[in-house]
Amino acid sequence: MKGTDTLPPLGDYCGMVFDSRRDRLILSKNSRPGQLWEYRFTDSTLARLSPANQGIVPVMAEPRECVYLPDEDEVVFMDSVTVNGKSGHVVYDCSANAWRNAPVTGANGFQWQNISWGWGMRFDPKRKLIILTTEANQIYMLNFHDSASTMAAKLKPGQAAGFSWQASPNPFTGSIAVNLKGVQGWTPSLRIYDIRGKLAADMPALKTASFRWDAGKLPSGLYVARLQLGNKTYRKSLILAK
């Protein structure tokens, strides 16, 4: 390892994340709030970064939980701070080598102080979402692509972000159109039962998010559609009226 700088003793409360644009590791430690180091794989050099705006990071209790966002070229930390009365997450801007506060909006904003010691933080590159999990089986998502601020929402385990589904027309006379939204990356399955609980249709692995169910040979009546998405089950009543 090259370079004149040295890292302080590392332990549990230290963070490390890979910056894919620069082929380097970014390192942090809770006892040195606001200070960061980089280890460059290109020349095996360790260097202190000394980001600007270190005053907005007076304390870093949990720098170990962090993710790099390649599109934004930023590192988002689990820690939350309050700047000018606005609560948000600590963010390191790689291109500017500076700290900033990303305000969090939404009815279920995440605060790491509200949970115990077991949590995780991952970036979903396909959906462009940061997923936060807690030991209490809580799941939060952070959307850093919102133009105004960071949007936070609390999810139930197994629930897809932004999921919704429609069946129309309802009542229907012969066939009904089913449209699913927000199921990318999931393999939903659908079962439809009549009023007596008898299976009327079984679609174990839907390959399309939009399709029609033909009930032309079935008698009129109430049917219940059960959609399985992960470990979450959604139900919808369908009325066949010929």
CATH of residue 200's domain is 2.60.40.10
* Same domain (yes/no): 211, 123: no
One domain, residues 103 and 194: no
Residues of the chain with pLDDT under 70: 1-12, 58-62, 80-87, 104-118, 134-138, 144-162, 185, 231
Which of 96, 126, 155 is the endpoint of a domain? 155
pLDDT value, residue 152: 47
| Domain shared by 123 and 183, yes or no | no
Inside any domain, residue 200: yes
Please give the single-letter amino acid code of residue 214.
D
Q: What local confidence, expressed as pLDDT, does residue 204 receive? A: 87
Among the listed residues 119, 236, 230, the one whose alpha carbon sits nearest the alpha carbon of residue 184: 230
231 within some domain: yes
CATH number for the domain that contains residue 80:
2.120.10.30
DSSP 87-145: EEEEEEETTTTEEEEEEEESTT---GGGS-S-EEEEEETTTTEEEEEETTS-EEEEETT
Q: Please indicate, yes or no, whether residues 130 and 175 belong to a single structural domain of this protein.
A: no
Structure tokens, 154: 């609390």
Q: Which residues have CB under 8 Å from 39's CB, separation 6+?
A: 1, 24, 25, 27, 45, 46
Per-residue pLDDT, 161: 54
Judge whether 238 and 224 are in contact, CB under 8 Å.
yes
Identify whether residues 106 and 169 lie together within a single domain: no
Buried-state track 102-141, b at ≥16 Cβ within 10 A, e below 16: bbbbbeebbebeebeeebebebeeebebbbbbbeeebbbb
Q: Residue 25: beta bridge partners?
A: 18, 39
What span, in angstroms and rounded, lies between the C-alpha atoms of 120 and 24? 22
Within-domain flag for 2? no
Do 194 and 223 sit in the same domain of this protein?
yes
The amino acid present at 42, given as its one-letter code, is: T
Last residue of a domain, one of 93, 127, 155: 155
DSSP 12: S
Parent domain of 235: 164-240
Residue 107 makes CB contacts below 8 A (sequence gap 6+) with 153
Residue 3 within a domain: no
User: Of 105, 128, 155, which closes a domain?
Assistant: 155
Residue 9 counted as domain residue: no
Where b means 16+ CB within 10 Å and e means fewer, 147-179 reads eeebbbbebeeebbbebebebeeeebeeebebe
- Each residue of 113-161: pLDDT tens digit? 444 445 778 888 877 788 877 665 667 777 765 533 444 444 444 455 5
Overall number of domains in the chain: 2
Judge contact between 101 and 87, C-beta under 8 A: no
Across the beta sheet with 221-229, what order do the strands follow? 199-203, 189-194, 221-229, 232-240
151 and 168 assigned to the same domain? no
Residues 235 and 142 reside in one and the same domain: no
Within this chain, do residues 110 and 170 fall inside the same structural domain, yes or no?
A: no
**31 and 140 part of one domain:** yes
Model's pTM, two decimal places? 0.57
* Residues 34 and 107 placed together within one structural domain of the fold: yes
The C-alpha atoms of residue 29 and residue 35 are separated, in whole angstroms, by 8
